[in-house]
Structure 1
Amino acid sequence: MSKILCIEDNSDLRTDLVEEIAEAGYDVLEACDGQEGLEMILEHKPDLVISDITMPRKNGWQLVADLRENHPEFDGLPVVYLTALSDEKDMSKGLDQGACGYFTKPIDYDQLLDKLEELL
C-alpha cells in the first residue's frame, strides 16, 4: 500500500483530504505545516507528498526547496501542490520546482485521486 503525506494547515480541509485518500486505499500521514511535513518525510519516507503552499513556519515552496537542496535521497519523491494560489506564475513556479501536479482549491477529489493513481 502506498504511503501519502498530506501537508495542510487548515485542519478541516486536512481531515477531509486524509479521509478521501484513505478511502481510496492509501496509507495516509498528515502534517500541519511545512516544517512538520519535512520532519515526517525524513522519518516516514512517504511514496508521495501532497502539500499546501501558504502555511506557517515553512511554506510549501520552502519545503520543496529544502527537500531538493538538502536531502538528495528524496530527489525522486513526487510532490503535488494543493493550494488556493491559482495564478499562472504560481503554477509555473510549482512545476519548475519539480512538482508533479498542481491543484487549486476547492479540491476536485476525482481529479486528485486520478493523479495519485497515475503517479503511484
Structure 2
Amino acid sequence: MTKILLADDEAALRFLLTETLADEGFELTEAADGNEAVRELQAQAFGLVILDYMMPEKTGVEVCEWLRGSESANREAPVVLLTAKALDKDKERAKAAGVTAYIVKPFSPMHLIDVVNGLLESRES
C-alpha cells in the first residue's frame, strides 16, 4: 500500500481527497500547512506527496524546494502540486522547485487519481 502525504489548508478538500484516495487503496497522512508537511516528510517515508500551492507557513512550492534539497528519504518522491494559479510563470516556478505534476483547481478527484497512478506506475518501471 502506497503512503501519500496530502498537504492542503482547506479541510473540506482534504477530506474529499483523503476519502477518494483511501477508496483507491492508498494510505493517507494529512497536513494542514507547509510546516506540518515538512514535519511529516521528516518523520516518515511516502510514495508520493500532494501539496497545495497556497498554504500558510510555507507554500507547496517552498515545501517542494526544501524537500528536493534535503536529505529526507522522500527527496525523490513524486510531488503533485494543486493550485488555482494557472499562469505560465507559476508553472515554471513549480517546475524549477522540482514539482513532478501540476493540477489546476477546480479538478475532478478522478483526474487526481489518474495522475497519482500514472506517476506511481512510471516509478515502478
Q: Same fold (TM over 0.5)?
A: yes
- Between stretches 63-72 and 31-40, larger displacement belongs to 63-72
Distance of 2:108 and 2:44 partners within structure 1: 27
Output aligned runs, 1:81-96, within 5 Å: 81-96=81-96
Output aligned runs, 1:29-68, within 5 Å: 29-68=29-68
The match for 1:77 is: 77
The match for 2:5 is: 5
Structure 1 residues not aligned, in runs of 5+:
none
Shift of 1:107: 2.1
How large is the RMSD of aligned CA atoms in angstroms? 1.3
Shift of 1:72: 5.4
Give identity over the alignment, percent: 35
Distance of 1:70 and 1:9 partners within structure 2: 23
Distance of 1:68 and 1:9 partners within structure 2: 22
Task: Spell out, residue by residue over 1:8-67, the C-alpha distance to the aligned partner (whole angstroms, 9 max, x if none).
Answer: 001111111111111111111100011100111111211100000111111112111111
- Structure 1 runs, 4 residues or longer, greater than 4 Å off: none
Are 1:114 and 2:114 counterparts? yes
Shift of 1:75: 2.8
- Between stretches 27-36 and 93-102, larger displacement belongs to 93-102
